[in-house]
Amino acid sequence: MSYLFTSESVSEGHPDKIADQISDALVDHFLAFDPQSKVACETLVTTGQVVLAGEVKSKTYLDVQQLARDVIKRIGYTRSEYMFEANSCGILSAIHEQSPDINQGVDRQDPRLQGAGDQGMMFGYATDETANYMPLALDISHRILIELAAMRRENKEITYLRPDAKAQVTIEYSDDNQPIRIDAIVVSTQHDDFDEEAAMLGKIKKDIIELLIPRVKAQLSPELQKLFTDDIKYHINPTGKFVIGGPHGDAGLTGRKIIVDTYGGKGAHGGGAFSGKDPSKVDRSAAYATRHIAKNLVAAGVCKEVLVQVSYAIGVVEPMGIFVDTYGTANVDLTDGEIAKKVQDIFDMTPYGIETRLKLRTPMYQDAAAYGHMGRKPETVTRSFTNGEGETKEITFETFTWEKLDYVDRVKESFGL
């Protein structure tokens, strides 16, 4: 019997995502000037106010207030009527030095013996149902909001959009787990005030269905485009008016959208957030590493779908264990336990091994802080960073290194594929 599965995404202007992007802007700038920085930075945003808190150990000094304002401005909170505006909001910093009790368990004289920055379990997931090995419902949800933000910045076809938005996609699957059609699409977008609410709702619904959705559909393969039928149930701003939004509508906190950041409810999540943390925190680095493993396993043909778990103890170098679940889709004559053993032999899952393999001590994180950390396209980019003393540094680095299919040949050789 067929079944329905739903995933959601939120825009870069969503309060929680503003907080994530500010926290990761701080991580990037600390790493740009001191790659060995230890950072754990949380952000709170609310009406006219930003609060920064956390622990940092770094050789550089940053103007954290200006960095926060730059992020808010880039997102689009630039008008006073939003009640949260880049140049006028108050910013309080309560950032202090990292506890030496934690640091002594992580740092070692030999960096290869670096211990995990915390205990916990992390998961990576991949499926062959999309070209980027991501769950389809989440992939489409992200695409809807990326295009909506692009149209907001273009300010041509749709001229009333404000930064806050959410999207949700429900897909019907057959009993053999193949997508049949899109059952429902939900889009809630913040907008300028209209004189007449009924006319406003009609126009927004028409613009989303007739202008936005075709742009999203055009990005997909012909096979996936067929899922967009005339029977889709659209819920566009279903509560009605959505003028008050962003941090004025709801407070935002770093790390509250971890399912948006990962797989939209598919697979599993260990519970730890990513944003605001340097890569010594395995909540972040090991989640990226398990995604890298899962994606390369599926791309190599070991299985059609896979969940990979790794776990750590604080201060301990080697992981507690690696778990693999192929959901019965394995194309090799091995148990999931035997696959996990081979994975352990192919991939170095020590904190140092992950950091070096994925080049994680580069300032790559702000790009990941909206529209998902997984399923993104790796690129080589050059960016400028400025510290609190006015020193500017230009750095060239790779983004989304955990999305590279650079271990496919090694996986194939190990599994005899």
Neighbours of 322 (CB within 10 A): 19
Q: Measure the CA–CA gap between 331 and 173, rounded to whole angstroms.
A: 22
Q: Which residue out of 12, 28, 42, 355 is catalytically annotated?
A: 42
Q: Measure the CA–CA gap between 70 and 302, rounded to whole angstroms.
A: 44
Where do runs of H (alpha helix) occur along 81-164?
100-106, 136-154
Is 367 a known active-site residue? no
- Is position 256 annotated in a ligand binding site? yes
Is 233 a known active-site residue? no
- Is position 36 annotated in a ligand binding site? no
Is 17 a known active-site residue? yes
Q: Which residue out of 123, 242, 274, 347 is catalytically annotated?
A: 242
Q: Which residue out of 34, 55, 172, 318 is catalytically annotated?
A: 55
Q: Measure the CA–CA gap between 285 and 278, rounded to whole angstroms.
A: 8
- Is position 281 annotated in a ligand binding site? yes
- Is position 415 annotated in a ligand binding site? no
- Is position 16 annotated in a ligand binding site? yes
Where do runs of H (alpha helix) occur along 128-237?
136-154, 197-207, 213-217, 222-225
Q: Which residue out of 8, 12, 17, 86 is catalytically annotated?
A: 17
- Is position 292 annotated in a ligand binding site? no
Q: Measure the CA–CA gap between 285 and 274, rounded to whole angstroms.
A: 8
Burial group, residue 6, by CB count within 10 angstroms (0-12, 13-18, 19+)? middle
- Is position 379 annotated in a ligand binding site? no
Q: Which residue out of 142, 162, 248, 257 is catalytically annotated?
A: 257
- Is position 391 annotated in a ligand binding site? no
Strand partners, 90: 49
Is 251 a known active-site residue? yes
- Is position 81 annotated in a ligand binding site? no
Is 112 a known active-site residue? no
Is 250 a known active-site residue? yes
Q: Which residue out of 277, 284, 295, 361 is catalytically annotated?
A: 277
- Is position 410 annotated in a ligand binding site? no
Q: Are strands 90-97 and 49-57 parallel, antiparallel or unpaired?
A: parallel
* Crossing angle between the packed helical segments 282-300 and 336-346, to the nearest 10 degrees: 110
Q: Which residue out of 251, 268, 299, 313 is catalytically annotated?
A: 251
The span from the first CA to the last CA of the chain, in angstroms, equals 33
- Is position 368 annotated in a ligand binding site? no
- Is position 242 annotated in a ligand binding site? yes
Is 55 a known active-site residue? yes
Instruction: Say if residues 13 and 75 touch (Cβ distance below 8 Å).
Output: yes
Is 42 a known active-site residue? yes
Is 139 a known active-site residue? no
- Is position 341 annotated in a ligand binding site? no
Nearest to 363 by CA among 406, 396, 391, 389: 396
- Is position 166 annotated in a ligand binding site? yes
Is 166 a known active-site residue? yes
Q: Which residue out of 8, 16, 24, 147 is catalytically annotated?
A: 16
Which DSSP helix (H) or strand (E) runs through 343?
Answer: helix 336-346
Q: Measure the CA–CA gap between 9 and 264, rounded to whole angstroms.
A: 8
Q: Measure the CA–CA gap between 193 and 241, rounded to whole angstroms.
A: 8
Instruction: Say if residues 318 and 391 touch (Cβ distance below 8 Å).
Output: no
Instruction: Say if residues 31 and 278 touch (Cβ distance below 8 Å).
Output: yes
- Is position 152 annotated in a ligand binding site? no
Angle at 216 between CA 215 and CA 222, to 5 degrees: 100
Is 194 a known active-site residue? no
Q: Which residue out of 283, 305, 355, 367 is catalytically annotated?
A: 283
Q: Which residue out of 162, 256, 266, 291 is catalytically annotated?
A: 256
Q: Which residue out of 5, 8, 12, 14 is catalytically annotated?
A: 14
- Is position 250 annotated in a ligand binding site? yes
Is 205 a known active-site residue? no
> Residue by residue, what is the 3-state secondary structure of 377-412?
CCCEEEEEEECCCCCEEEEEEECCHHHCCCCHHHHH
| Residues labelled as active-site residues | 14, 16-17, 42, 55, 166, 242, 250-251, 256-257, 277, 281, 283
Residue list for the binding site for K(+): 42
Residue list for the binding site for Mg(2+): 16
Residue list for the binding site for ATP: 14, 164-166, 241-242, 250, 256-257, 273, 277
Residue list for the binding site: 14, 16, 42, 55, 98, 164-166, 241-242, 250, 256-257, 273, 277, 281
